[in-house]
Amino acid sequence: MNTNNLLSPFTLPNGVELKNRIIMAPMTNWSSNPDGTVTEDEVKYYARRSSGVSMVITACTNVTANGKGFHGEFAGDRDEMIPSLRKIANAIKEQGAKAVLQIFHGGRLCPPELVPNNEIVSASNIPAEGSSNIPRALTESEVEEIIEAFGETTRRAIEAGYDGVEIHGANGYLVQQFFSPHSNRREDRFGGSLENRMTFPLALVDKVKSVVDQYADSSFIIGYRFSPEEKETPGITMADTLKLVDALADKGLTYLHVSLHHFFSTAKRGINDTSKTRIEYLLETINDRVPLIGVGKIQTVDDAQKALDTGVPLVALGRELIIDPDWVQKVAEGKENEIITKLNKDMQEQLVIPDPFWKVIMNTPGWFPIA
């Protein structure tokens, strides 16, 4: 198979050249210390997966103490974390990939035991579906403080040597909670109309850009990840997302990154033609203003090639790089028939997967294809 364009370089809008079209997707790994510092196992895990891909987007890091969304998540909410953050940046960059720190706040999805006073917060006091944890609505001044915190964590990422940050606006966390009519019932400037619900995500982009202008140069990468639709009613529709993406595409970001379970999934709500894929709708709306990273069940070279053939310039691999960290190298060496697409239960050590992450994988049937 012709894999030339999979392995061909790509120049981002800010002039940074990626050595190929394959990105490592951000994936939670539950493997940091309780104080938010990274473990050596985590550093080795990233190093093992960073030599083939052109860019690694890390697991999410919380920007405030009340934004910690996972046990074993590494933190970026205070300056003492910079040496810890630097370890992962160095591990990735030493293998030849760009290192991008994903910055986030868990909002109403934070486990109460992980946040100060067990008090979870969100845009409004609406619990997530299926949860009995009722969040407290953030005050307007607290929203401003969180916007500042995203900026401060960006500064820490710059000081720690990252090549960029990705604003995590996907997967139901705080940024998405402000955009969603399910979780955002506010009546101030951050809620109500679709335009008002876009205020918080767009303000985060402006804040991060201003910090980058102050502390870094134009080569610093700024990405934004989003989920296109919600199943909740009321919830985000494809039409809502296209409005947000249209605004984001004019913001001078380095890339947009859609979060999908399946790359070729079709749009469900808020649009007329449900036969078109979400990727098709997004590419039409973006209209070449900013690169889009696509993701979702891309396992084989054939999958990746079909994804690139849609017009997305970059594809991200998540689980597949856990299963086979040498995916890109095998493609480069013409050994794509040797790519492994099912996890071998006896290979934890060779795959350099930390114990906490391995336990979650083994205890979550159906998440990973198992050999």
Active site residues: 173
Using an 8 Å Cβ cutoff, are 328 and 18 in contact?
no
Rounded to 5°, the CA angle 209-197-126 comes to 120
Considering only CA atoms, which of 1, 8, 2 is closest in space to residue 315?
8
Q: Report which residue type is found at 78.
A: R
Percent helix, strand and coil across the chain, each to the nearest 5: 40, 15, 45
Tell me phi and psi for residue 207, to 5 degrees. Answer: -65, -50
- Residues 57, 164: Cα–Cα separation, whole Å: 9
Burial (CB count <10 Å: 0-12, 13-18, 19+), residue 185: middle
Using an 8 Å Cβ cutoff, are 222 and 254 in contact?
yes
DSSP labels for 100-156?
Answer: EEEEE--GGGS-GGGSGGG--EESSSPPPTT---PPEEPPHHHHHHHHHHHHHHHHH
Using an 8 Å Cβ cutoff, are 337 and 46 in contact?
no
Cα 273 from chain centroid (whole Å): 28
Rounded to 5°, the CA angle 337-343-346 comes to 115
DSSP assignment letter at 165: E
